[in-house]
Amino acid sequence: MKNILKIYKLLPLMAVMFFVQTTLFAQYVHPNQAGRKGGDTGAGIGKQVVTSTYYGYTSDNSAQGTIVSVNKDGTNVATFHGFKGYPSDGSYSWYTTPHQASDGSLYGASYVGGSYNWGSVYKFNLGTGVESLIFNSNPGNGGSPGNFANINELSDGKIYSVQTWGGTHYLGGLYSMNKDGSGLTLIHSFSNSVIVNYTSAATTQLTTESKYDGAYPYGFVVEGHDGKIYGSTLDGGAHNRGAFYRCNKDGSAYEIINVSDPFLKAYVNGKGGVIPSAYNLNDPCGNVAIDQQGKVYVTGFYGGAGNTGGVARMNADGSNYQLLHSGNAAEGTYPYRGATIIDGRVYGTYGTGGPWTVQGGASIGVVYGMDLDGSNYKVLKAFDAPGGVYSDGTDPWAGLSYDGEYLYGSTHVNGGAGMVGTLYKLRLDGSDFKTLHRFSATAATACGGKPALFSWYPSTERVTFADVSLKWSQTCIPDVVCNAGSAAPSVTNNTGISNECSSTTADLTNVIITNTPVNAQVAWHTSTTISSETKVADPTAVGAGTYYAVFYDAINGCYANEGTSTTAVVVTIKACPFVNYAPPVASKVLANVCPAATADLTSLLYAESPSGASVTWHTATPATDANKIGTPTAATANTYYAAYYNGTTYGPTSTPVVVTIISCGGTSVNAACPANTKDLTTILIGPAPANTVLTWHTAVPATPENQVADPTKAVAGTYYPVYFDETNNCYGTAGAPVTVVGCPIPDLTPTFRITPSSVIGNGTAIAGRIFVREIAGFATTSNPIYVFVPKSANYTLNTYNSTQTTSGGLPVQNSQWTYLSANATYYIFQYNGSVPLNNSGSAFGFSMIYNSNSLSGKENINILVFDGSGGETNFSNNSDGETIRFSAN
């Protein structure tokens, strides 16, 4: 079931977005993000920071936005393109930032503009300074009437564009195209009324809901280690709270890997501990991120322990979901953008919240960093108000980009007298924070025969790095002086360096250089031809070969003597002995899964073996042929150790794994009625051993993830008693299972769908379908069953047709339902079927005419099953809602 009035998600922004349609935004991936495929095509690698603005003038446009660049020290702020708008150009690119593709050009998407004024995808050629449209969104190609999602280039060299309101259902579309706009293909059309495939992990999130697709994608797509596309949708899914999906690049094998829901329950954090009460992350607005192990990191605007958003991770198929961080007032709330993964840490922004300061009171947004498992969370920057002035800006809704030295981002509002946003940078530890530019709606002083800079409200996307030729500037800029000098680096150990075992790479930063100029740094390249293609991405981990050092001025983006002054260093890689580390294991305890009478040790392995080696299991340490077991998939009760083996030598052994074999018998007890729960603590198990407590679990072996949070209120199901050793922090062997049998009390729940859910213009006919079924496994009583449909000034109900058999393409049984009457608030329907309602349920359909006097917006319709209908006593799941999005044209 969904929360009422989902539009409340936008309230934190409304005070500063009263002039813009209230909605969420998307973003694109950064090349330094671990796990990304397809070349250095994300945020780019250039010497200047590039973004776009919602408003701004150049000499040939009318305040419909600009492309802006700035040196990394904040100098030379200039505009390079002014959007002209409909019909020849895009306009208002506040929601997206130009993306540098592998051909060196910038690609981006505009909110509106283009030949149909529905938005566009544009290309800006950095070599010629010419901008052109390669895609015009319109009804003929299934485009979106106003788009909030960015584009991205994947490893096949194609541009992938997410259209928020596009597709055949106008609920979102995913397109691919060549860089000239040819080969346009709609590879997936989203619709929250269409059944799609769910992975096994996503299916376990459902109780009685249908496997509906996601809707309204706001985040750009990324590519996983498996070559698949990964993304998110703001709405849709089984609970209409958003979903995370994956598919092949042609749209095949599409499936939901995780579906957002509004239910409070226990979650596991990244360290294996239990969070007793939290929400799944809801309303995801940004991209996902993928680490070196292929795990998927996601953010949600809502959810977490305080329902103020957070960060989670899961396996590529949605399994092993872990809540890494929950937004809170002291550490940040409501994240819009997806996270960025750099050097084994997660970095991102929360749009509001943050620590209070003595000088300025409340912070409004933070930049954060944390380990991959959510530990060591740190607020790197709180956007507060020293002296009562938010001079650094506030509301950092945009994500972060990294150039190998600094994180870069933008704030939404504030920042000096203009109060219309900023660009900033800081190091990974939060030091050296600097505001690069404070935007202003007041024009600066003109110079050099060019108009003054006049741009404001920077994009809520991540920034890009690119080498933008200053000759294309449409505003004045000063001359650049390169701090890298003209000399080549003086190296004291240029005879060569090597690796240190057990590493198989060498660290170029250990080379001693004695003459580095002030405000310059050392850059490493694989050739004397200095370019972005030859630059070493990670000089701390290089293979054998010859590398060339050159001085680089990161502030002005220039090399010493234009890149001709280089010094060579030879790297050799020496051979190291066989592995000196053990296989990692997922748990120190393992038990059989009934009805099996043995346990599978191989289920604990999750890392790839070294080349030429395999994992063996042993009953003692060190590992030898004598203590190796033959069948690790059928282990009996004992203690075991894992080791790598290359055919001649065993490596070190892992931490011990204790296998216990549980009895597969059990007993049954009845739940207390009408509460329909059982107090498991009243079941006599026997005295607990010293320094232990009795815990109950829904599965074996016992883990924090399957521990019952409140054993005094156990619902129908099977539970296992296990003693927990509080001194050594470990679980014992599970006892015989106890099955709780529920009360024969029916439980009704409705599912509501409307078709279509997007309305353009007035007088549109909308089909409604309400499906009511019993989910506890007990037939309803003779108590009447009533369904209430709310009234609205925007729609009128047509005459009820008792012979109708389909609604919105789905079957209905209107002959089993009667339209009773209407009061001031609701239309009322009653079930009059000849048999009690059961799990098969019954559906009825109706039609209505939608007329809105508003230009655009959305309206939530929440239907209700009347409390007590059919003899039920659980009223918490008696409602469901749908959202109608409407616009005048």
Token pair 């409407």 is at which residue?
Answer: 886
CA separation for the pair 170, 759 (Å, rounded): 9
- pLDDT at position 132 over 60: yes
H or E element that contains 201: helix 200-203
Length of the chain: 889
pLDDT of residue 396: 93
pLDDT of residue 234: 93
CA separation for the pair 148, 351 (Å, rounded): 17
Beta bridge partners, 764, equal 850
* pLDDT range class, residue 27, cuts 50, 70, 90: very low
For 270, the token pair is 């990244």
User: What percentage of the chain has pLDDT greater than the value 90?
Assistant: 36
Mean pLDDT over 768-792 rounds to 86
Determine which of 19-33, 69-83, 590-604 has the lowest per-residue pLDDT on average. Answer: 19-33
Longest CA–CA separation in the chain, Å: 93
CA separation for the pair 813, 803 (Å, rounded): 8
Determine which of 262-271, 424-433, 500-509, 798-807 has the lowest per-residue pLDDT on average. Answer: 500-509
* pLDDT range class, residue 858, cuts 50, 70, 90: confident
566 in Cβ contact with 548 (< 8 Å): yes
Provide the sign of the torsion angle of the four alpha carbons 800, 804, 805, 810, taken in this order: negative
Conformation bin of residue 877: beta by default, left when phi > 0, alpha when psi is -120 to 50: alpha
User: What percentage of the chain has pLDDT greater than the value 70?
Assistant: 86
The amino acid occupying position 541 is A
Determine which of 165-169, 355-359, 465-469, 550-554 has the lowest per-residue pLDDT on average. Answer: 355-359
**β pairing state of 638-645 and 614-618:** antiparallel
* pLDDT range class, residue 362, cuts 50, 70, 90: low
Backbone φ and ψ for 734, nearest 5 degrees, come out as -75, 145
Neighbours of 386 (CB within 10 A): 12
CA separation for the pair 261, 284 (Å, rounded): 12
Instruction: Judge if the upstream peptide bond of residue 674 is cis by omega within 30 degrees of 0.
Output: yes
Instruction: Confirm whether pTM is higher than 0.95.
Output: no
Q: Which residue has the higher pLDDT, 287 or 674?
A: 287
- pLDDT at position 359 over 50: no
pLDDT of residue 308: 94
CA separation for the pair 71, 616 (Å, rounded): 55
CA separation for the pair 244, 237 (Å, rounded): 9
Which residues contact residue 30 at a Cβ distance below 8 angstroms, ignoring those fewer than 6 apart?
A: 36, 42, 43, 340, 400, 401, 402, 462
Conformation bin of residue 127: beta by default, left when phi > 0, alpha when psi is -120 to 50: alpha
Render pLDDT for 582-625 as a digit per residue (tens, 0 to 9): 888 877 878 777 667 888 999 888 777 887 889 999 999 999 99
Q: Which of 170, 127, 133, 174 is nearest to 26 (CA)?
A: 174
Neighbours of 140 (CB within 10 A): 8
Render pLDDT for 209-220 as a digit per residue (tens, 0 to 9): 899 999 999 888
The amino acid occupying position 696 is W
pLDDT of residue 302: 94
How far apart are the two ends of the chain, measured CA to CA in Å? Answer: 31
- pLDDT at position 34 over 70: no
* pLDDT range class, residue 450, cuts 50, 70, 90: low
pLDDT of residue 11: 31
* pLDDT range class, residue 664, cuts 50, 70, 90: low
pLDDT of residue 492: 78
For 881, the token pair is 């809602």
Conformation bin of residue 793: beta by default, left when phi > 0, alpha when psi is -120 to 50: alpha
- pLDDT at position 26 over 50: no
Mapped onto helix, strand or coil, the DSSP state of residue 855 is coil
330 in Cβ contact with 354 (< 8 Å): yes
CA separation for the pair 779, 776 (Å, rounded): 9
655 in Cβ contact with 590 (< 8 Å): no
H or E element that contains 11: helix 11-14
91 in Cβ contact with 81 (< 8 Å): no
Neighbours of 526 (CB within 10 A): 14
**DSSP per residue over 651-698, as a string?**
EEE-S-EEEE------EEEEPBTTTTBB-GGGS---PPPTTEEEEEES
Render pLDDT for 546-585 as a digit per residue (tens, 0 to 9): 999 999 876 656 788 877 888 999 998 887 666 778 888 8
pLDDT of residue 482: 73
Q: Of the spans 441-450, 596-605, 775-784, which averages the highest pLDDT?
A: 596-605
Q: Which of 14, 29, 95, 11 is nearest to 308 (CA)?
A: 11
Q: Which of 412, 416, 406, 389 is nearest to 461 (CA)?
A: 412
Neighbours of 103 (CB within 10 A): 14
